Structure 1
């Protein structure tokens, strides 16, 4: 589907920018890029136009797509909102709940939309799990487990500085915090531990975090995120158990997503898709966002979802700092009203 009447201002030129560019070009959207570094190289590779200044870019585009380091998201998004431009922003939306609140309030006042790019909501396996739970296929969810591991990005650059990256929870686990809330419901308490611990604001290069969420409906979610040694293969998955069945997925297994449901007589039915081939979830996501910006229809993830994931990540960091569970019904980070 071509949308050549739309122009996106891509802000940032790092690795994730390339994935976004390829998706926008597949959609026929004109891409204008601005970045403090790397814009020329990105433009040369993909045949893009370069905007030397942020103000110049904002004057020419219909909306922006922010793919810069996490600590810059708020400032850039607020500039776009001030210019009356809708915003797509890579996760996390901001690094604190108060900043997410400020950004959302500014967007509402300006009448523009903010869509956080929580791309896992567009991976077919997670979409299928969400649909199965909503449809009651496994009954009431009791226990869910989500995990995500990757080779650590923290050996160099800004990732080790927790003030700039949010650490492994905000940078990596934020995907599964969003999934747990999306699939299992709103969260009432958060407990988190990390090994090794963060010291003086500097994250270990190799680190694992574990977070336990209690949901309003009674379900308990256990989440694990790991920045592993160099060469650690990326792997993610889930197991969601309810009163009438189990949903499972592990990315390194050939079988893909599976449902094990209670059939008549207590027999379990194992359903495995015949093919796990699908288009890039980034393409699916950006197509939905672009369509929503044109039609006004609401996509499956909006600013409030991005803010909620940041809120949970901030609560997890609070729990790690205090050693206590955080009651989400009263947790109120500074600046959030």
Structure 2
């Protein structure tokens, strides 16, 4: 039920697998925890199959189901389109939704190609002139400790940034018999670890530092080149002699990056870090101090102030659960930690408030296009002799 005392904003969810379930939880929770100016109405969930879409609607709390996203865009009870489908579908759905006057939340990475991302950005900018808003789901920005890190950098607490180390470590593909999912098909996913999780750490580094990655030198690697093919029933072949298909994306990406403020960054994104489930690790070293964060301990930020007396100087452990910390006052008492799902709730909160206030929410499609250009530069460097490659507006060229 929506709040009868507030104007409604109808939401359509396109895609109802893992990420769709997470977004559904956020739409259900946000208006019950935060005081929003508009009341989200979970109008319809849409998938490729009518029966599975209806099952998702029943399970996840949506009022109705559809198997035709184009029909969804024609509905009067839909104001926001939340896109949680594979990357190769993002451009078509997002552009059509914006042209239909619907606000758009699109999962990352924005698209599979620069051309698609540029067309999406152009459509978003044209829509914004008509009051139609758009945002990209780089959700880790909305972890309170990440917000605090950005605040400390903006306040000059660590001084000039010299070094950044950014890692996103997972291990869900270590088993060579793990099935060949859509995420391992370049036509559907665009890239592998580079785009799927590397895009997150590129965005986080640029968000926290308020600087750009201006040139890169990188390498990509695919460790397992063939995997068992999934069946139509959702199972997969995994015994000797059964069908296997090619892996057409990278399993791991490593690259160096120049920052616009003169600092040097290192990035590592892999789905082969045995024992690491979802470790997003960031360390930023500046002329006056340092910051360190690990998503597997997401309520904590480590901060060093070089100005402290030498006999007590060192990293301090800040538990980011105080009411004055970003987003936290709406939740639990100090010390009662938040989890993975809370960032998605904060994403809904920020989007709804921006739509109500007539402002462009962040990250914008244009900012996500900037991340996409970094990824393209990494691919260009890795496909050659790993030469330093500039990240340019609109194109990529070898650094001089």
TM-score by length of 2: 0.76
2:179 aligned partner = 155
- Partners of 2:122 and 2:360 lie apart in 1 by 18
- Partners of 1:47 and 1:123 lie apart in 2 by 25
Encode CA deviations 1:223-244: one digit per residue, 9 max, x unaligned: 1111127875221211110011
Q: Give how far 1:331 is off.
A: 6.8
Mark the CA change 1:249 to 1:305 in structure 2 (over 3 Å): closer, same or farther: same
Mark the CA change 1:255 to 1:41 in structure 2 (over 3 Å): closer, same or farther: closer
- Partners of 2:396 and 2:186 lie apart in 1 by 17
Q: Summarize the alignment of residues 52-131 of structure 1 with structure 2, pairs less than 5 Å apart.
A: 52-60=67-75, 61-110=78-127, 111=130, 112-131=132-151
Contact 1:255 1:272 in 2 (8 A): no
Contact 1:104 1:114 in 2 (8 A): no
Which of 157, 175, 179 is equivalent to 1:137? Answer: 157
Unaligned runs of 5+ in 2: 32-38, 226-245, 320-334
TM-score by length of 1: 0.90
- Partners of 2:90 and 2:248 lie apart in 1 by 21
Q: Summarize the alignment of residues 320-331 of structure 1 with structure 2, pairs less than 5 Å apart.
A: 320-322=382-384, 323-329=386-392
Q: Give how far 1:273 is off.
A: 2.8
Contact 1:145 1:221 in 2 (8 A): yes
Q: Does 1:47 align with 2:61?
A: yes
- Partners of 2:393 and 2:121 lie apart in 1 by 21
Q: Give how far 1:59 is off.
A: 2.2
Compare 275-284 and 124-133 and name the one that shifted more. Answer: 275-284
2:338 aligned partner = 278
Q: Does 1:290 align with 2:334?
A: no
- SS of 2:183's partner is coil
Mark the CA change 1:308 to 1:293 in structure 2 (over 3 Å): closer, same or farther: same
Q: CA RMSD in A?
A: 2.5
1:202 aligned partner = 248
Compare 3-12 and 83-92 and name the one that shifted more. Answer: 3-12
- SS of 2:158's partner is coil
- Partners of 1:222 and 1:229 lie apart in 2 by 17
Which of 277, 280, 286 is equivalent to 1:233? Answer: 277
Which of 337, 359, 366 is equivalent to 1:304? Answer: 366
Q: Whose Rg is larger?
A: 2
Contact 2:169 2:273 in 1 (8 A): no
1:181 aligned partner = 206
2:243 aligned partner = none
Q: Give how far 1:118 is off.
A: 0.5
Q: Give how far 1:258 is off.
A: 1.0
Encode CA deviations 1:161-190: one digit per residue, 9 max, x unaligned: 123212110111100011122223012211
- SS of 1:233's partner is coil
Q: Give the aligned length.
A: 332
Encode CA deviations 1:182-203: one digit per residue, 9 max, x unaligned: 2230122111112347978713
- Partners of 2:13 and 2:220 lie apart in 1 by 35
Contact 1:138 1:244 in 2 (8 A): yes
Mark the CA change 1:137 to 1:73 in structure 2 (over 3 Å): closer, same or farther: same
Compare 195-204 and 111-120 and name the one that shifted more. Answer: 195-204
Q: Give how far 1:133 is off.
A: 0.9
Encode CA deviations 1:217-266: one digit per residue, 9 max, x unaligned: 10111111111278752212111100111111223359821101112444
- Partners of 1:140 and 1:288 lie apart in 2 by 29
1:29 aligned partner = 40
- Partners of 1:137 and 1:175 lie apart in 2 by 24
Q: Give how far 1:271 is off.
A: 3.1
Q: Give how far 1:44 is off.
A: 1.4
Contact 1:197 1:203 in 2 (8 A): no
- Partners of 2:205 and 2:23 lie apart in 1 by 25
